[in-house]
């Protein structure tokens, strides 16, 4: 017997795919309900509002990113430097996918510029959490100034993501990786 996904899981999967592909504001609740195959009552039992769904979507996406960070650590348990390089390589692979549409957290902040909006707040919180994890890897690697390196990598990665999303032909992965490696070598 197959394990059937719960209504909440189906809603979240559909919303995640649609929000990422088309934008959070562009996708309405009715479309998420229709494409997930749940009743409207089931939707509202699981999510009080679209804002609740947006926050859950960001948590869902954050989970994927944290899993990738953990995988990089598991592949290179004794080398924080190799963990960072593996994270960057993984990021470039995702950026080269045809369905790459940028960072879901940055996209959400752009769509919801009001700093009091729950989606804006969750997106900012998620990015802080993720980059905090990267900083911990840097600290384990013995960097003299982990705050500087994580800030530099964050700006470099964020810029590369936006360049790739806006104009994929303008993104040169070798230039990006060379700059990131230079920073890592300098600090670690």
Per-residue pLDDT at 1: 45
> Beta-strand (E) ranges in the chain?
none
Per-residue pLDDT at 4: 79
Per-residue pLDDT at 3: 56
Q: Determine contact, residues 26/44, Cβ cutoff 8 Å.
A: no
Element housing 114 (H / E): none
pLDDT per residue, tens digit, the chain (188 aa), is 455 789 999 999 999 999 999 999 999 999 999 999 999 999 999 999 999 999 999 999 999 999 999 999 999 999 999 999 999 999 999 999 999 999 999 999 999 999 999 999 999 999 999 999 999 999 999 999 999 999 999 999 999 999 999 999 999 999 999 999 999 999 99
Determine the Cα–Cα distance for residues 41 and 22; give it in Å rounded to an integer: 25
Pick the closest to residue 161 from 106, 124, 123, 89 (CA basis): 106
Per-residue pLDDT at 152: 98
Contacts of 13 by beta carbon, 8 Å cutoff, 6+ apart: 5, 36
> What pTM was computed for the model?
0.92
Per-residue pLDDT at 71: 96
Per-residue pLDDT at 14: 98
């Amino acid at each position: 017997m197959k394990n059937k996904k719960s209504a909440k899981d189906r809603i979240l999967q559909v919303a995640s795919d649609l929000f990422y592909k088309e934008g959070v504001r562009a996708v309405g609740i009715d479309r998420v309900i229709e494409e997930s195959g749940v009743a409207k009552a089931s939707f509202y039992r699981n999510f009080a509002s679209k804002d609740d769904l947006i926050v859950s979507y960001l948590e869902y996406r954050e989970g994927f990113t944290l899993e990738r960070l953990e995988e990089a650590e598991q592949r290179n348990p004794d080398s924080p430097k190799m963990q960072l390089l593996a994270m960057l390589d993984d990021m470039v692979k995702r950026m080269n996918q045809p369905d790459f549409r940028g960072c879901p957290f940055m996209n959400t902040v752009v769509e919801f510029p009001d700093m009091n909006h729950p989606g804006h707040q969750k997106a900012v919180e998620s990015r802080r959490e993720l980059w905090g994890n990267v900083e911990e890897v840097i600290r384990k690697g013995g960097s003299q100034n982990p705050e500087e390196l994580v800030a530099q990598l964050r700006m470099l990665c964020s810029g590369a993501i936006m360049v790739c999303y806006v104009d994929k032909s303008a993104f040169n992965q070798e230039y990006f990786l060379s700059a990131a490696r230079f920073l890592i070598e300098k600090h670690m």
